[in-house]
Amino acid sequence: MEVTEVLLPGVGIRYEFATARGARVGVVARRTGDTELLVYGSGDPDTPRHLLHLNRDEAEAVAEMLGAPRVAERFADLTREVPGLVSGQIEIGEHSPYRDRTLGDTRARTRTGASIVAIVRGEAVIASPTPARSLHAGDVLVVVGTEEGIAGVERIVGAV
């Protein structure tokens, strides 16, 4: 299935695709974390009809139900919106000093300026993890920041 992406500067990203039955569906992922689900009418393909407006928690719940691994991939796309901003994925290794400790213990944001925007744990994605979230070997951190910041997070968690 082909999914088109349209950057909405200052707003987020709009994804669009056609279903097997020919309906055109759009999802607007706002920078605030809110999400809008749209369907376009067949008479005017440029005029969407809002189906749902979901806040961050509701959108995360629906994403988990629908197959969360794609969510982490899409975080990387958000970095295109801001020049100089990059994203990376860092796995927590067996010997990481932060294995079985909390994300807050790493103080990664304070020390590097990079943000850990999600944790991928198996098939689940924990979007916007809180500092109290525990880290386990095999977790993959989705990090957004500068290249130096991401390398700093990698050094901190000992994943290199």
From 79, 114, 130, give the residue that closes a domain.
79
Q: How far apart are CA 67 and CA 82, in angstroms?
A: 27
Are 10 and 73 members of one domain? yes
The pLDDT score that the predictor gives to residue 6 is 80
Residue 68 neighbours by CB under 8 Å, 6+ apart: 123, 124, 125
Note the pLDDT tens digit of each residue in 44-74. 666 778 788 888 888 777 777 776 555 555 6
Q: What is the pTM of this model?
A: 0.54
Per the structure block, which two tokens stand in for 55?
A: 């806040």
Q: CA-CA distances (angstroms) from residue 31 to 2, 12, 21, 44, 151?
A: 23, 5, 30, 27, 24
- pLDDT tens for residues 86-110? 888 899 999 999 999 999 999 998 9
Domain boundary among the residues 14, 45, 79 is at: 79
pLDDT in tens, 125-160: 787 788 899 999 999 998 888 889 999 999 999 864
Pair 90, 147 in one domain: yes
